[in-house]
Amino acid sequence: MTTMDTRVQPRLLDAAAADLGEHHRGHGPIPWQGGVGRMIGELQSAGLTGRGGAGFPTWRKVAEVATAARAVVVANGAETEPGSRKDDTLLRRCPHLVLDGVQLLVEATGADEAYLYVKPGDAMASVRHALTERHGWDRVAVRVVAAPNRFVAGEESAVLAAIAGRPARPADKWLPVVHSGLRGRATLVQNVETCAHVAQIARNGARWFRGLGTRDEPGTMLVTVHGAVREVPIGIALSELVTGPVLVGGYHGAWLSSPAPHLSRAALAPFGAAPGAGVLHPLAPGRCGLVETAAITRYLAGESAGQCGPCRNGLPATAALLSALADRTAPPDAVHRLDHLTGLVVGRGACRHPDGTARLIRSTLTVFGDEVRLHLAGRCSR
Partners of residue 372 on adjacent β-strands: none
Q: For the chain, give every domain's residue range.
A: 13-209, 234-282, 289-376
Q: Which CATH architecture has domain 13-209?
A: 3-Layer(aba) Sandwich (3.40)
Between 109 and 272, residue with greater pLDDT? 109
Model pLDDT for residues 67-100, shown as the tens digit of each residue:
998 999 999 999 999 999 999 999 999 999 999 9
Model pLDDT for residues 116-127, shown as the tens digit of each residue:
999 999 999 999
- 351 band by pLDDT with thresholds 50, 70 and 90: confident
Which stretches of the chain are DSSP H helices?
Answer: 20-27, 40-46, 58-66, 86-93, 95-109, 122-133, 156-163, 192-204, 206-209, 265-268, 289-302, 309, 315-326, 334-345, 353-367, 369-376
Q: How many CB atoms lie within 10 A of CB 135?
A: 9
Closest listed residue to residue 319, CA positions, set 364, 281, 349: 364
Between 121 and 9, residue with greater pLDDT? 121
The answer, yes or no, to whether residue 2 has pLDDT greater than 50, is no
CATH class of 289-376: mainly alpha
Mean pLDDT (the chain, rounded): 94
- 3 band by pLDDT with thresholds 50, 70 and 90: very low
Residues in Cβ contact with 5 at an 8 Å cutoff, skipping those fewer than 6 apart: none
Model pLDDT for residues 300-342, shown as the tens digit of each residue:
999 998 888 888 999 999 999 999 999 999 999 999 999 999 9
Distances, alpha carbon 374 to alpha carbons 289, 330, 377, in Å: 12, 12, 5
Model pLDDT for residues 195-224, shown as the tens digit of each residue:
999 999 999 999 999 999 999 999 999 999
pLDDT of residue 7: 57
Model pLDDT for residues 17-54, shown as the tens digit of each residue:
999 999 999 999 999 999 999 999 999 999 999 999 88
Strand order in the sheet with 186-191: 142-146, 113-118, 71-77, 186-191
